[in-house]
């Protein structure tokens, strides 16, 4: 079943690392700015919704930063993505 491939997938496969890096590089500063904005709003108004939004935006910052580190290591090692 899997051994009889007739397509060109292995020859033409492209690594999505550069696209992931670009998306994470855009998401990181935007999420960081959003986190700062939401924290300021939470301090100013004291409503829990601003705190929740700040936590969500901070989680996006962490995820984007970790993704950039992983991408840098994979691109440096020449390791293909999965």
3-state SS record for 22-58: HHHHHHHHHHHHHHHHHHHHHHHHCCHHHHHHHHHHH
Domain-located, residue 28: yes
Structural domain total, the chain: 1
Domain-located, residue 10: no
pLDDT mean over 12-34: 91
pTM for this predicted structure: 0.77
Through-space distance between the first and last CA atoms of the chain, rounded to whole angstroms: 21
Domain-located, residue 5: no
Neighbouring C-beta atoms of residue 60, cutoff 10 Å: 17
Domain-located, residue 8: no
- Which domain range does residue 32 map to? 16-77
Q: How far is CA 65 from the centre of its chain?
A: 7
Domain-located, residue 11: no
15-19, 22-26, 38-42, 67-71: least confident range: 15-19
pLDDT mean over 4-29: 82
Domain-located, residue 34: yes
């Amino acid at each position: 079943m899997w051994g009889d491939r007739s397509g060109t997938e292995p020859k033409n496969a492209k690594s999505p690392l550069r696209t992931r890096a670009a998306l994470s590089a855009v998401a990181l500063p935007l999420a960081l700015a959003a986190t700062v904005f939401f924290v300021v709003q939470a301090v100013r108004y004291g409503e829990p919704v601003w705190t929740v939004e700040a936590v969500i935006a901070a989680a996006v910052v962490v995820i984007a930063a970790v993704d950039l580190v992983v991408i840098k290591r994979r691109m440096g090692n020449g390791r293909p993505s999965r």
